[in-house]
Amino acid sequence: SDLQKQEERGELLQPLVFVLLVVCSVLLYFRVSLMDPGFVKSEEEAKADKSEEQSMVIPQVPSNIKMRRCGYCMVKQPMRAKHCQLCQHCVRRYDHHCPWIENCVGEKNHPLFIVYLSVQLIVLLWGAHVAWSGLYFEQSWDWLQHNVLLLMSFLLIVIFTTVVLLLLISHLYLISCNTTTWEFMSHHRISYLRHSESENPFDQGVILNLWRFFC
């Protein structure tokens, strides 16, 4: 049959890989949106000063900066944590609250969020290529009537691709500097950055920043 011939020629491999990428993207979406982004729990107050994050940043941060208690959930905030009023929790290494996934992006799910964006970008670029390959332009009303849905799909994919690409690039840049979106946008309001001698006390070089983040 035609299906068997296509399978023998390897023509079914690309659609299969595309479907697997789409499924992987959906699973990553649910994983990132449902997982704990790094909520600070009240029972961790006694151990906050000895946490891994504290041990790494204490030598680089002025000694007069003390841990403060959150005015909303009343837990001691570790360094780089912030209270999210939408999630009603303090989040370790808070980056931002993403309306796309309806969850915070923080210490625990930030690396997986980057993986999700990368897979999503591949799916969108592949979809844009498929949509573009199906378009053959003619200056006629009949052509527009028959291709309007495909043309709109292509334009919509291009918009989403641009958004995801810019988001991924911005996150990779911030990760390479070992800073977060919140710290980058609110540098003048954060005490441990405002009183620091260096502009970014957490920066340890691009390679080490990326290694510590992903590994």
Phi, psi of 74 (to 5 degrees): 60, 30
Phi, psi of 105 (to 5 degrees): -105, 115
Burial class (CB in 10 A: 0-12, 13-18, 19+), 181: middle
Measured from the Cβ of residue 44, the count of other Cβ atoms closer than 10 Å reads 14
Q: How far apart are CA 162 and CA 124, in angstroms?
A: 10
Give the catalytic positions in this structure.
98
